[in-house]
Amino acid sequence: MNFVALKMLFGDRAKYMMLLAGLTFSTMLIVQQGSIFWGLMTWSQSGITNINAPVWVADRNINQVEEIKPLADTAVNVVRSVPGVEWAVPLYKGVQRARLRDGNYEQIALVGIDSSTLIGRPHTIMEGRIEDLRAPDTVAIDRLAVKRLGGPEKMHLGTTFEINDHLVRVVAIVYAQKSFQNFPFIYTTYERALGVTPPERRKLSYILASPVEGLSPEKLAQRIHEQTGFGAYTGEQFGWKTIWWMLENTGIGVNFGTTVLLGFIVGMAIAGQTFYLFTIENLRQFGALKAIGASTGMLARMILLQSFTVGLIGYGLGIGLATLFGLTAGSGGALPFVETWPLLVGVGVALLMICSLSSAISIRKLAKLEPAVVFRG
Amino acid sequence: MNQHVESFEQELSHWLVRARGVSKSFGQGDTKIPVLKGVDLDVASGEVLFLVGPSGSGKTTLLSVIAGILESDGGEVRILGESIQELSPAEKTNFRRDHLGFIFQQYNLLPTLTAVENAAVPLFIRGMKKSEAIARAEEVLLTMGMGERLKAVPSKLSGGEQQRVAIARALVGEPQLLLCDEPTASLDGETGHRVVEQLCEVGKHPDRAVIIITHDSRIFEFGDRIVHMEDGRVDQIQQGQEDLI
């Protein structure tokens, strides 16, 4: 009867299109909003992922990566003294002002990395050499900085500009994941970062550390915390800490959660109502099938097949449309859009629930349907 | 009358349907309405039986009880020797699937299926392969002069054509008992006459019985017996073209 079920589904074009539109819209909305949400969460921890250190050491009260609570310079040696630390280097991170040649100012995220090892440098160097940061008054800038500080014609290798009245020269253009605050990243050495920033008693933002071979980053982080009292986290732990802080302290979670729920409810309402209408309008036919000898189980399988078929098509179309949106609106990193497989699996499960629940309403009706209905003229 | 009926019964070699004391009421308490009041009815193999009577006389209820889609309150219905009341709901469904054919007043064809696909539905229900089922349905439709309309959907068919598809659907599974509920009610006189003529031509078979509910006296000529119901009881039985007895 699969063939009959599918012909009933595709033959009623108006209802099929209505169902498909509802499920496609629902999928697209959930995937699109879910991907933007995860994109924002990715941006929120870009300060961690761009650096990619095994262990981050910070003030014990730190909440998230952008919340700088500076440490004393001596903290680096304290961490180095913990057994199991292979290396530990300082990192400066802070928002500063860059002055452009045209006199305009732009806020930037300044990152100062260890000059001898260059640990904390970005993964991808697009132009120039990151090693040239060891030369005096040099910086590496990311693509967003190129765009914000004048565009590729004005901002390229060799260009100079000022950070807090200190002249610096661009020696590398790098790829860095955008930050939640959307400030361009400017990389320089730790010592130069201290030099170009206003005087403070403490300027050490983080200490990056790595375990010796055979010791896991989790164990080392725990050990550093226990022996020094500092907050110490693996990159992943620190990333999740940042994400949870974002969810608890901003409306992002509620906002996106509401939209995703709305997508679920809209899909559920349209699919449920259309399926029910479809069943009601074909009640005599279903009654005839029951009289002829189709069991309730057989009719239930027909309804489920119809539901899951249109659900699968809607799922594919919805994901396709959401991906197309991501590729166009989010091209070049303009929009935070990260489509992950757990999200797609989650949406698949949600759609499965929508299809099952909307089918259940129809199946319930059919289970109660007396075949004698066909003998009532 | 009883003597006449008994002699008629004795002539028939094999009873397909035997109903004894069948009663059925609808509603509860003070509003309970008895619709069947101890109906006895036998239908033999090879017989075409018309069930006639005014509206509310219990014809459709009796047909539904015989088909096992309504539970009777009392009495017994045996079809092919099987007591319908003793079957579980699932067994009743399977029994209908394997032994009964239905023709409805409103045809109840699936609107998105073609004529041949509609006719093949009982075979799909039995789990037959699509190609085999379609081939078998085509054969039946061809015998009914529907060769040109195999691929037409119900909305493109006339009332007579739709009823012929419904007849093909009822016959395709080669049922032993064919139950027809006012098959000509939605058709004009001439078409109705032709449809019943065809129904009796293809439906009449030594191993099969046909029960037809109708108000249409013009088709009585096709029946072996005409059973008249009145107020929930079998009132009169007429054989063939004889006067009501």
pLDDT for B8 equals 45
Mutate to test the interface with A, among B61, B87, B124 (most CBs of A within 10 A): B124
Q: Report the C-alpha gap between B119 and B137 in whole angstroms.
A: 6
Inter-chain touch A8–B113, beta carbons under 8 Å: yes
What are residue A86's phi and psi, to 5 degrees? -80, -45
- Are A138 and A111 in contact by the 8 Å Cβ rule? The answer is no
Q: What is the DSSP string of A82-145?
A: STTEEEEEEEEEEEEEEE-TTS-EEEEEEEEE-TTT-TT--SEEEEE-GGGGGSTTEEEEEHHH
Residue B103, in any domain of the structure: yes
Residue B171, in any domain of the structure: yes
Residue B175, in any domain of the structure: yes
Residues of chain A with confidence (pLDDT) below 50? none
Structure token pair of residue A88? 């530990």
| DSSP H or E stretch at residue B36 | strand B33-44
Q: Report the C-alpha gap between B218 and B238 in whole angstroms.
A: 15
Q: Report the C-alpha gap between B23 and B211 in whole angstroms.
A: 19
Residue B18, in any domain of the structure: no
Average pLDDT over residues B165-193: 85
Contacts of A7 in chain B (CB under 8 A): 110, 112-113, 117
pLDDT for B12 equals 45
Angle of helix A341-368 versus helix A13-44 axis, rounded to 10: 150
Which amino acid belongs to residue B87? L
pLDDT for B4 equals 47
A273-310: b (≥16 Cβ within 10 Å) or e: ebbbebbeebebbbbbbbbbbbbbebbbbbbbbbbbbb
Structure token pair of residue A319? 């994901």
Alpha helices in chain A (DSSP H): 2-11, 13-44, 46-49, 75-80, 143-148, 190-196, 217-228, 235-249, 252-281, 283-292, 296-329, 341-368
pLDDT for B106 equals 80
Contacts of A288 in chain B (CB under 8 A): 102, 104, 108
> Does the structure show a pLDDT above 60 at B245?
no
Domain that holds residue B132: 45-58+88-239
Q: Report the C-alpha gap between A6 and B37 in whole angstroms.
A: 44
Domain boundaries of chain A, sorted by first residue: 2-43+251-375, 72-229
Among candidates A3, A12, A291 on the partner chain, residue whose Cβ is nearest the Cβ of B69: A291
Torsion of CA A19, A21, A24, A26, to 10 degrees: -80
Residue B28, in any domain of the structure: no
Inter-chain touch A375–B113, beta carbons under 8 Å: no
Name which of A108, A91, A75 is nearest A205 in CA terms: A91
How many structural domains comprise chain B?
1
Which amino acid belongs to residue B46? G
Residue B211, in any domain of the structure: yes
* pLDDT band per the 50, 70, 90 thresholds, residue B228: very high
pLDDT for A342 equals 92
Q: Report the C-alpha gap between B64 and B58 in whole angstroms.
A: 10
B31-65: b (≥16 Cβ within 10 Å) or e: eeeebbbebebbbbbbbbbbbbbeeebbbbbbbbb
3 state SS of B37: strand
Structure token pair of residue A306? 């119809």
Q: Report the C-alpha gap between B60 and B226 in whole angstroms.
A: 15
pLDDT tens by residue, B98-123: 999 988 888 889 999 999 999 999 99
Chain B residue with Cα closest to A302: B125
pLDDT tens by residue, B188-219: 777 778 778 877 877 778 888 999 998 878 78
A71, β-bridge pairs? A204
Q: How many residues does chain B have?
A: 245
Average pLDDT over residues B145-163: 90
> Does the structure show a pLDDT above 60 at B241?
no
Exposure of B204 in the CB half-sphere (CA atoms within 13 A): 12
Among candidates A1, A298, A370 on the partner chain, residue whose Cβ is nearest the Cβ of B69: A370
What pTM did the predictor assign? Answer: 0.77
Contacts of A283 in chain B (CB under 8 A): none
- The CATH number that applies at residue B124 is 3.40.50.300
Name which of B152, B119, B151, B153 is nearest B133 in CA terms: B119
pLDDT tens by residue, B23-72: 999 888 778 889 999 999 999 888 899 999 988 889 999 999 998 888 89
Torsion of CA A102, A105, A111, A113, to 10 degrees: 40
* pLDDT band per the 50, 70, 90 thresholds, residue B229: very high
A12 touches chain B (CB under 8 A): yes
Structure token pair of residue A15? 């209802």
Q: Report the C-alpha gap between B203 and B197 in whole angstroms.
A: 10
Provide, rounded to the nearest whole percent, the portion of chain B with pLDDT above 70.
92
- Residues 49-78 on A with a CB inside 8 Å of B are none
Q: Report the C-alpha gap between B128 and A109 in whole angstroms.
A: 71
Which 8-state DSSP code applies to residue A325?
H
Tell me the pairing of strands A166-175 and A206-211: unpaired
Q: What is the DSSP string of A240-259?
A: HHHHHHHHHHSSHHHHHHHH
